[in-house]
Structure 1
Amino acid sequence: MSFILSLPNEILRELGARLRMQRLAQSLSQRELAHMAGLSLGALRKLETDGQCSLETLIRAVQALGLSTELDELFVLKRQSIAQMAQAEAAQQRQRAPRRKSSCGR
């Protein structure tokens, strides 16, 4: 499944289903994985059923399944030109967003 044209709830369900397939491929019960990840059984069931969970819950489950390397490429900035590399480097150095000019006449 490609996520390009998917709705957020469709992506959540698909990620939950993929996590479930990984758990089953490792012959783990939901109870076993929940224990390994330090999660409640209900939290793991909700994650696998509809993808609803906190980011921490997802990461705990991913780590317990030994899939942390799957996260390595998530949100990595893809640089295509020297100008884009310079712009990305400048953005990393900036600590705060610039203040917006007030329309109140200050």
Structure 2
Amino acid sequence: MFDFTLATTPEICVELGRRLRARRLVQGWSQIELAQRAGISAGTIKNLEKHGRATLESFIHVVAALGLSDELSDIFLIRMVSIAAMEKAERANRQRAPRKASR
């Protein structure tokens, strides 16, 4: 099992590319077919699968084409574990970051 907490950024990128490749193969699609369905180039698919490199937009196009959009719904959600965490999460719902103190 891949441990994201111990992995470097390049390792995580490669792992995500590997997982998308596996899902493509389960669908029985070639890289060209996935590229057409995602509306991006086959080179982008190759780069994503081999090196884990793509723009966020291209990554999302691939995820959507593979029918995995629902997998993104829980990403980066703030998990409520205590009343203090709930209060902190409520404060985080602000639209702007707190201002730095002026000197």
The TM tier, using the shorter chain, reads: over 0.9
Larger Rg: 1
Distance 1:64 1:81 in 2: 38
Distance 1:98 1:10 in 2: 33
> What is the identity, as a one-letter code, of the residue corresponding to 1:3?
F
Residue 45 of structure 1: aligned partner: 46
Residue 97 of structure 1: aligned partner: 97
Residue 75 of structure 1: aligned partner: 76
Q: What TM-score results when the alignment is normalised by the length of structure 1?
A: 0.90
* Percent of pairs with identical residues: 50
Structure 1: which 5+ runs fail to align?
none
> What is the identity, as a one-letter code, of the residue corresponding to 1:31?
I
Q: Alpha-carbon deviation of 1:82?
A: 1.9
Q: What TM-score results when the alignment is normalised by the length of structure 2?
A: 0.92
Q: Alpha-carbon deviation of 1:60?
A: 0.5
Distance 1:33 1:51 in 2: 16
Distance 1:60 1:30 in 2: 14
Q: Give the root-mean-square deviation of aligned CA atoms.
A: 1.1
Structure 2: which 5+ runs fail to align?
none
Number of equivalenced pairs: 102
**Is the aligned partner of 1:36 residue 2:37?**
yes
Q: Alpha-carbon deviation of 1:33?
A: 0.3
Q: Alpha-carbon deviation of 1:41?
A: 0.8
Q: Could you list the per-position Cα deviations for residues 39-84 of structure 1 after superposition, in whole angstroms to 9, with x for gaps in the alignment?
A: 0111111000110011111110010000111111211111111221
Q: Alpha-carbon deviation of 1:98?
A: 2.6
Residue 64 of structure 1: aligned partner: 65
Residue 13 of structure 1: aligned partner: 14
